[in-house]
């Protein structure tokens, strides 16, 4: 099974962050993000629904844009660095 198909299978079971995907597959975060973006396009074309739970600040609750798949460095609202990573999930339509 190719890496991108493995990614689609992983994301079909439970929401995952880019960091957890990278650790589980033994990849660097940059490689995991690149493969993830391609896998999400392929999954959407196959009829899967892509759900992104956006990153948010643990201190003030600021919610980032859903487009961002990786953890931001700082919160633009309170300047805090304690952030939840975005979680990505695929559902069959």
| Residue 86 · residue 17 · CB < 8 Å | yes
Q: What does the mean pLDDT of the chain come to?
A: 91
Per-residue confidence (pLDDT) for residue 2, from 0 to 100? 81
Angstrom distance (rounded) from CA 8 to CA 38: 10
Angstrom distance (rounded) from CA 59 to CA 88: 22
User: Does residue 17 carry a pLDDT above 90?
Assistant: yes
Architecture field, domain 3-92:
Orthogonal Bundle (1.10)
Length of the chain: 93
Q: How far is CA 88 from the centre of its chain?
A: 4
**Residue ranges of the domains in the chain?**
3-92
9: pLDDT confidence band, cut at 50, 70 and 90? confident
SS3 92: strand
């Amino acid at each position: 099974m190719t890496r991108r198909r493995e990614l689609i299978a992983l994301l079909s079971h439970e929401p995952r962050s880019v960091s957890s995907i990278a650790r589980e597959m033994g990849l660097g975060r940059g490689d995991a993000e690149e493969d993830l973006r391609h896998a999400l396009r392929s999954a959407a074309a196959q009829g899967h629904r892509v759900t992104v739970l956006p990153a948010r600040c643990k201190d003030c609750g600021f919610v980032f844009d859903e487009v961002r798949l990786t953890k931001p460095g700082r919160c633009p609202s309170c300047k805090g660095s304690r952030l939840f990573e975005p979680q990505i999930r695929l559902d069959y339509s």
